[in-house]
Amino acid sequence: MKFLHLSDLHIGKSVNGFPMLEEQRHIFAQAIGHIQTEKPDAVLIAGDIYDRTVPSVEAVRLFDDFLTRLAKEGVTVLLISGNHDSPERLNYASRLLAERNLYLCGVFDGKLQSVTLSDGYGEVNFWLLPFVKPSTIRSIFCDTEIDDSYTDAVSMVLKTAAIDYTARNVLLSHQYYTAAGVTHVLSESEINPVGGLGAVDSGLLSLFDYAALGHLHGAHDVDRNVRYAGSPLKYSFSECRQEKSATLVVLKKKATSV
Amino acid sequence: MKFLHLSDLHIGKSVNGFPMLEEQRHIFAQAIGHIQTEKPDAVLIAGDIYDRTVPSVEAVRLFDDFLTRLAKEGVTVLLISGNHDSPERLNYASRLLAERNLYLCGVFDGKLQSVTLSDGYGEVNFWLLPFVKPSTIRSIFCDTEIDDSYTDAVSMVLKTAAIDYTARNVLLSHQYYTAAGVTHVLSESEINPVGGLGAVDSGLLSLFDYAALGHLHGAHDVDRNVRYAGSPLKYSFSECRQEKSATLVVLKKKATSV
């Protein structure tokens, strides 16, 4: 199974007053070219599709163009909302688009959604976890023990999903994951007043064959098979020296490293 | 060919401070019931889907539910934007949804879009004209003679579409049409600061087999085969005595009255 991992598109973002729409259109054209060459089975977009919960008309049009092009390429799209997105707005038409192999998961409603794709080695389950806050998870599961811990919140979601880890599993998640003992200094554009600063222990993801993460803008591995793809453009000065790239992942049979 | 003509849903509207979402949900359930009984070939929605250009999250969710239900019924949906809608936002995912026989025409870009359906009598062309202003048409066609006349603007659109009137044709349009010499007093909720007050001579539509209109909230015939379906709910006191209904239209072979 081959898939392209993207994240943090932030469509419609302006940087220091300059709209980035044309640069973003250029990046999407590059992504389409990459897809035509590499022919992945799926494209994974790990949240922050838009920069604002109510995106501009121009941003909506650009995302619509990108999504329509992806569909034309015949590639399956798996996509979650990030803390910058409106979960409900991103969910619009999602049941209809799923019939076209475009899986847009904006809202976490208590059940971790999954999509199963197959290759010569068997099935791969893709688990779609939109950005969640402890308060959301607490209210869904009526669990007062979650308190304000993002680790507890994500742990609760994964536990209730009853994932069979003997199969191949890929998680899409948009949170601030850190490996035990490693901290990460957030850039200006990663800090957002709507939340998402609470760290999640990446140890929770150790049984996944790959975790396609979004939220941090610099591409990097958090742990083995646990990776931030990074934003395709640099959105603040402190991001300038960061590696920027989409990540092409090839998943072979179970227990083969990515 | 049998179709159901609706218009002016104004999803998300509040009347005197009271949100109407639950009433609107109830109306849509009734419409689905009606569709299950009558089994029309198509549902036509003649504009003002939402009440605001940036609809609330709840309004987006309700429209999404309605659209998904309509698709599940297997009925073709033909829909245009009204003066209350954002043309571009309504256009989102429209190319993808068209593959599912859901035709959402938000933006008029200079070419009148059409969708052709067939029955035992042959083809019917449905022409989708979203709400337009003279200024839009003037800028598209670079015609200074249109001035501020809505009649000239619509006339120009229809002329450039080169419609074959020997075939069966149905127009969806969201404007303020009046028959020559007949004026119509607008209700409070029909008057909108973004425009739409300029009258269009309904004589322009005389060659259509049916014109499915939206904009005025009281169901009424403007001319022979030229009809406002009316809004499904009453949105102001002056609308209380108006007839409210969806219109079920049966179109037989050419030159048979509706």
CB–CB contact A93 B95 (8 Å)? no
pLDDT band at B240 (very low <50, low <70, confident <90, very high): low
CB–CB contact A86 B57 (8 Å)? yes
| CB B200, CB B154: distance < 8 Å | yes
What pLDDT sits at residue B198? 84
What is the residue type of A162?
A: A
Residue of B nearest to A58 (CA): B88
What pLDDT sits at residue B193? 44
What pLDDT sits at residue A5? 96
Q: Write the pLDDT tens digit of every residue in B85-117.
A: 999 999 999 999 999 999 999 999 999 999 999
pLDDT band at A171 (very low <50, low <70, confident <90, very high): very high
Average pLDDT for B222-244:
76
- Tell me, yes or no, whether A44 lies in a domain: yes
What pLDDT sits at residue A196? 52
pLDDT band at A121 (very low <50, low <70, confident <90, very high): very high
Distance from CA of residue A167 to its chain's centroid?
21
pLDDT band at A2 (very low <50, low <70, confident <90, very high): very high
CB–CB contact B96 A60 (8 Å)? no
- Indicate which CATH number applies to the domain containing B118: 3.60.21.10
What pLDDT sits at residue A242? 57
Q: Write the pLDDT tens digit of every residue in B33-68.
A: 999 999 999 999 999 999 999 999 999 999 999 999
Contacts of B67 in chain A (CB under 8 A): 93, 96
What is the Cα–Cα distance from B175 to B205, expressed in whole angstroms?
12
CB–CB contact A92 B93 (8 Å)? yes
Does residue B11 have a pLDDT over 50? yes
CA distance A133 to chain B (A): 19
CB–CB contact B100 A95 (8 Å)? no
What pLDDT sits at residue A257? 45
CB–CB contact A61 B100 (8 Å)? no
In angstroms, what is the C-alpha Rg of chain B? 17
What pLDDT sits at residue B242? 57
CB–CB contact A88 B54 (8 Å)? no
Does residue B163 have a pLDDT over 60? yes
Residue B71, helix vs strand vs coil: helix
What pLDDT sits at residue A74? 97
CB–CB contact A96 B61 (8 Å)? no
- Tell me, yes or no, whether B214 lies in a domain: yes
> Residue B127: which of B166, B76, B80, B82 has the closest Cα?
B80
Q: Using CB atoms, which residue from A57, A96, A100 is nearest to B86?
A: A57
* Torsion sign across C-alpha atoms A83, A89, A90, A91: positive
* Number of structural domains in chain A: 1
| Average pLDDT along chain A | 89
Residue B214, helix vs strand vs coil: strand
Contacts of B103 in chain A (CB under 8 A): none
| Average pLDDT along chain B | 89
Does residue B12 have a pLDDT over 50? yes
Residue with more model confidence, A48 or A244: A48
Q: How many other C-beta atoms are found inside a 10 Å radius of the C-beta of residue A251? A: 21
With helix as H, strand as E and coil as C, how does chain A read?
Answer: CEEEEECCCCECCEECCEECHHHHHHHHHHHHHHHHHHCCCEEEEECCCECCCCCCHHHHHHHHHHHHHHHHCCCEEEEECCCCCCHHHHHCCHHHHHCCCEEEECCCCCCCEEEEEEECCEEEEEEEECCCCHHHHHHHHCCHHHCCCHHHHHHHHHHHCCCCCCCEEEEEEECEEECCCCCCCCCCCCCCCCCCCCEEEHHHHCCCCEEEEECCCCCEEEECCEEECCCCCCCCHHHCCCCCCCEEEECCCCCCCC
Distance from CA of residue B141 to its chain's centroid?
23
Task: Please give the model's pTM, rounded to 2 decimal places.
Answer: 0.89
| Percentage of residues in chain A having pLDDT higher than 90 | 72
CA distance A87 to chain B (A): 9
pLDDT band at B140 (very low <50, low <70, confident <90, very high): very high
Strands B76-80 and B42-46: parallel
Which of A118-132, A178-192, A216-230, B157-171 has the weakest average pLDDT?
A178-192
Does residue B183 have a pLDDT over 70? no
Q: Using CB atoms, which residue from A54, A61, A96 is nearest to B97?
A: A96
Contacts of A94 in chain B (CB under 8 A): 64
Which of A57, A91, A100, A104 has the highest number of chain B CBs within 10 A, making it the mutation to test binding with B? A57
CA distance A57 to chain B (A): 6
pLDDT band at B257 (very low <50, low <70, confident <90, very high): very low
What pLDDT sits at residue A129? 98
A136 phi/psi in degrees, rounded to 5: -65, -50
Average pLDDT for A12-17:
89
Query: What one-character DSSP code corresponds to residue B165?
Result: T
Average pLDDT for A95-105:
97
Residue with more model confidence, A235 or A222: A222
What pLDDT sits at residue B184? 63
CA distance B67 to chain A (A): 8
Does residue B194 have a pLDDT over 50? no
Say what the ipTM of the complex is.
Answer: 0.87
Range of the domain at B67: 2-250
What is the Cα–Cα distance from B175 to A104, expressed in whole angstroms?
35
- Tell me, yes or no, whether A255 lies in a domain: no
pLDDT band at A187 (very low <50, low <70, confident <90, very high): low
| Residue keyed to tokens 């009433």 | B23
| Residue keyed to tokens 């973003």 | A24
- Tell me, yes or no, whether B257 lies in a domain: no
Q: Which of A54-63, A234-243, B223-232 has the highest mean pLDDT?
A: A54-63
| CB B132, CB B152: distance < 8 Å | no
Strand partners, A245: none
Size of interface A-B (CB pairs under 8 A): 62
- Tell me, yes or no, whether A144 lies in a domain: yes
Does residue A6 have a pLDDT over 70? yes
Side by side, the strands of the sheet bearing A76-80 are: A102-105, A76-80, A42-46, A2-6, A247-250
Which residue numbers of B have CB closer than 8 Å to A's CBs? 54, 57, 60-61, 63-64, 67-68, 71, 86, 88-89, 91-97, 99-100, 102
Does residue B143 have a pLDDT over 90? no
Q: Using CB atoms, which residue from A57, A63, A68 is nearest to B95?
A: A68
Residue of B nearest to A101 (CA): B96
What pLDDT sits at residue A194? 45
- Tell me, yes or no, whether A258 lies in a domain: no
- Tell me, yes or no, whether A224 lies in a domain: yes
- Tell me, yes or no, whether A125 lies in a domain: yes
Average pLDDT for A184-201:
65
pLDDT band at A251 (very low <50, low <70, confident <90, very high): confident
